Amino acid sequence: MDIIYHAESRQFHLTNDQVSYIIGILPNGEPGQLYFGARIPDSKDRSYLINREFRAMMVGMPDQEDFSLEMNRREYPSFGTSDLRLPAYEVLSSNGSHVSCPVYDSHEILKGKPDLPGLPALYTEDEEEAKTLLLTLKDPVNGMEIVLSYTIFRDYPVISRSVFFKNGGKEELRIERALSISLDLPDHDYVWMQFSGAWGREKTPVHKKLSEGVTAIGSLRGHSSANHNPFVILRRENTDEFQGEALGMALIYSGNFLAQAEVDTYGTTRLMLGIHPDRFSWILKPGEGFQTPEAVLVHTAAGLNGLSQTLHSLYRKRLSRGYWKERPRPILLNNWEATLMDFTEESILKIAGKGKEAGIELFVLDDGWFGARDDDTKGLGDWYVNKAKLPGGIEGLAEKIHGMGMKFGLWVEPEMVNPDSDLYRAHPDWVLAAPGRPRSLGRHQMVLDMTREDVQEYLYERLHATILEGKIDYIKWDMNRTISECFSALKAPEEQGKVYHQYILAVYRLYERLIGDFPELLFESCASGGSRLDAGMLYYAPQAWGSDDTDAVERMRIQYGTSYGYPISSVGSHVSECPNQQTGRNCPITTRGNVAYFGTFGFELDLNKLTDEEFEEVKKQVAFMKQYRELIQGGRFYRLASPFTGNQCAWMVVSEDRSRAVFAFYRSLCRVNPGRKRVKLAGLDADRLYKAEGREYYGGELMEIGWEVTSAPSWDPEKDGDFYSRVIVLEG
List of residues contacting ligand DGJ (CB under 6 A): 336, 366-367, 411, 478, 480, 526, 528-529, 545, 548
Q: Enter the DSSP assignment of 445.
A: B
Q: Which of 139, 184, 473, 478 is catalytic?
A: 478
Nearer to ligand DGJ, 225 or 305 (CB): 225
Min. distance of Cβ 562 from ligand DGJ in angstroms?
A: 15
With beta carbons less than 8 A apart as the criterion, state whether 404 and 358 touch: no
Nearer to ligand DGJ, 526 or 679 (CB): 526
Instruction: Please give the full DSSP string across 111-148, using - where no structure is assigned.
Output: ES----TTS-----SSGGGEEEEEEEEE-TTT-EEEEE
Rounded Cα–Cα distance for residues 15 and 12 (Å): 10
Nearer to ligand DGJ, 342 or 708 (CB): 342
Nearer to ligand DGJ, 192 or 411 (CB): 411
Give the strand pairing for 19-25 and 31-38: antiparallel
Min. distance of Cβ 479 from ligand DGJ in angstroms?
A: 9
Nearest residue to ligand DGJ on Cβ basis: 367
Nearer to ligand DGJ, 244 or 529 (CB): 529
* Cβ contacts of 673 within 8 Å, gap of 6 or more: none
Min. distance of Cβ 472 from ligand DGJ in angstroms?
A: 16
Residues in the chain: 732
Task: Give the rounded distance of the alpha carbon of 252 from its chain centre.
Answer: 7
Whether cis (ω within 30° of 0) applies to the bond prior to 62 is no
Q: Which of 83, 139, 382, 548 is catalytic?
A: 548
Min. distance of Cβ 411 from ligand DGJ in angstroms?
A: 5
| 447 beta partners | 416
Min. distance of Cβ 387 from ligand DGJ in angstroms?
A: 20
With beta carbons less than 8 A apart as the criterion, state whether 663 and 650 touch: yes
Separation in Å, CA 666 to CA 575, 594, 726: 15, 8, 7
Min. distance of Cβ 519 from ligand DGJ in angstroms?
A: 25
Min. distance of Cβ 697 from ligand DGJ in angstroms?
A: 40
Nearer to ligand DGJ, 151 or 418 (CB): 418
Separation in Å, CA 25 to CA 22, 72, 79, 506: 10, 11, 18, 38
Smallest CA-to-CA distance from 682 within 306, 204, 157 is with: 306
Min. distance of Cβ 545 from ligand DGJ in angstroms?
A: 5
Nearer to ligand DGJ, 86 or 338 (CB): 338
Nearer to ligand DGJ, 291 or 528 (CB): 528
| 544 beta partners | 525, 571
Laid out side by side, the sheet with 31-38 consists of 2-6, 11-15, 19-25, 31-38
**∠ CA 318-323-326 to the nearest 5 degrees?**
50
Considering only CA atoms, give the Rg of the chain: 27
* Cβ contacts of 301 within 8 Å, gap of 6 or more: 38, 243, 244, 245
Min. distance of Cβ 325 from ligand DGJ in angstroms?
A: 24
Nearer to ligand DGJ, 83 or 548 (CB): 548
Nearer to ligand DGJ, 336 or 638 (CB): 336
478 is catalytic: yes
The CA-based dihedral angle spanning residues 240, 241, 246, 249, taken in that order and rounded to the nearest 10 degrees = 130
375 is catalytic: no
Neighbours of 460 (CB within 10 A): 16
Nearer to ligand DGJ, 226 or 649 (CB): 226
Smallest CA-to-CA distance from 51 within 183, 182, 186 is with: 186
Smallest CA-to-CA distance from 369 within 479, 470, 460 is with: 470
* Cβ contacts of 426 within 8 Å, gap of 6 or more: none
Laid out side by side, the sheet with 660-667 consists of 636-641, 648-654, 660-667, 724-731, 689-692, 695-698
Helix intervals (H) in 601-677 = 612-634
Smallest CA-to-CA distance from 552 within 524, 590, 504, 520 is with: 590
Min. distance of Cβ 338 from ligand DGJ in angstroms?
A: 12
Rounded Cα–Cα distance for residues 215 and 437 (Å): 34
Containing 602, the helix (H) or strand (E) segment is strand 602-604
Min. distance of Cβ 680 from ligand DGJ in angstroms?
A: 36
Containing 308, the helix (H) or strand (E) segment is helix 303-318
Catalytic residue numbers read 478, 548
